[in-house]
Amino acid sequence: MIGTSLLGMLFAFMPFASAETIVPRQECVVLLHGLWRTELSMMAVEWELGDAGYTVANITYPSLLYPIEELAEMAVDAGINECREQGLTRIHFVTHSLGGILVRQYLDTHDIEGLGRVVMMGPPNQGSQLADYVHSLPLLRPLEPEAIAQLTTGEESVPRQLGPVEFELGVIAGNVNRRPPLPGIPDEASDGTVAVAETMVPGMVDFVELPASHTFMMWNPDVLAQVLFFLEHGRFDHPDQAASEVAP
């Protein structure tokens, strides 16, 4: 009788497989944050993807110290290496803001063997009006990160020079602007930092606009759900319509 009771207690505390058991995938996702951020800003994305079975490489890079070309080399290489050190060759990317431009810059001069899908949240793919304004202020110029001038909409704009994308890309734009009406903020629909129209780029395979702000879109449940859906299906979840048709 005692033996039976002890056995019952042991079974009560043993972990059993369930429908919610995480099944590891043989796929890795590199996360790249935006300007003035660290990997901490991407923690919700890391947790969401980890729960879905992905191995995640959440990379921090010194966004304030180097131009986009150098940031792309160090950040993307760090993510690829972290994935491959774990024996994973299928590599996706999920980015926020500047992080998306780093992926475009890297792929403009490199091929990534085993490249999967890419999701960009709030990317300034056409440059940024806010960057234009910040760069126009002489008093801020000595403190300005090099990447700011490269994210403008003029001749110095790196994203405008890169041209159409040639990889499987989904873009998520936010349209909630919680900033006060300050100079430099886009007049049209925006996430408070990047206009919806500025996130788009020729060649993307799908696009979705969500009620999210630039600063916190990486923590928005609807955004996280769309990130996961695109990685799994190569398109976003458009419940009220067929998958959106995006001009190449």
What is the pLDDT confidence band of residue 184, given thresholds at 50, 70 and 90?
Answer: low
Contact 184, 134 (CB under 8 A): yes
pLDDT of the residue at 210: 98
- Residue 18, pLDDT > 90, answer no
pLDDT at 248 over 90: no
* Greatest CA separation for the chain: 84
Judge residue 109's burial from the number of C-beta atoms within 10 Å of its C-beta, 0-12 exposed, 13-18 middle, 19 or more buried. exposed
Residue 164 is given by DSSP the state S
Q: What is the structure's pLDDT at 101?
A: 98
Contact 246, 69 (CB under 8 A): no
Single-letter amino acid code for the residue at 15:
P
Average pLDDT, the chain: 87
134 pLDDT band (50/70/90 cuts)? confident
User: Average pLDDT in the 102-110 region?
Assistant: 97
Ranked by mean pLDDT, which of 16-30, 37-51, 229-243 comes out on top? Answer: 37-51
CATH class of 24-233: alpha beta
Q: Quick one: pLDDT band at residue 229, thresholds 50, 70, 90?
A: very high
Q: With bands split at pLDDT 50, 70 and 90, how would you rate the model's confidence at 247? A: very low
- Hey, CA dihedral for 112, 114, 116, 119, is it positive or negative? negative
Backbone angles phi, psi at 20, to 5 degrees: -95, 5
pTM of the model: 0.86
